[in-house]
Amino acid sequence: MAHDYNDADARVAAIKLLSKLASKFGQELCESFVAPELLSMAEDPNQVVRKVAVQNLVSICEIVSKEYFVKKLFGMYRR
């Protein structure tokens, strides 16, 4: 669903689902799977997908470690 490049709505739904489930996944899974997916979606060619990715960044940032946020997510946050 997150990698269906022909369906932006599916990618948006995947972002929202991952964001809502992030607290259930915990820090380790968020850092190894959820955050990289979100970073990938933030670079999507579709503007709507990028916008939703950025809007859902906060829920992921609450879960990952401070070090991970500074090293990996802060750059996207600033943009």
Per-residue pLDDT of the chain (79 residues; tens, 9 = 90+): 445 567 899 999 999 999 999 999 999 999 999 999 999 998 999 999 999 998 998 889 899 999 999 998 887 767 6
1 in a domain, yes or no? no
38 assigned to some structural domain: yes
pLDDT for residue 75 = 77
pLDDT value at position 37? 92
Note whether residue 31 is domain-resident: yes
In degrees, rounded to 5, the angle at the alpha carbon of residue 5 between the alpha carbons of residues 7 and 41 is 100
Residue 43 inside a domain? The answer is yes
- pLDDT for the residue 5: 62
| Domain presence at residue 40 | yes
Number of domains observed in the structure of the chain:
1
pLDDT of residue 7: 87
pTM of the complete model: 0.81
Which range marks the domain in which residue 54 is found? 8-78
Helices first, then strands: H and E counts in the chain: 6, 0
5: part of which helix (H) or strand (E)?
none
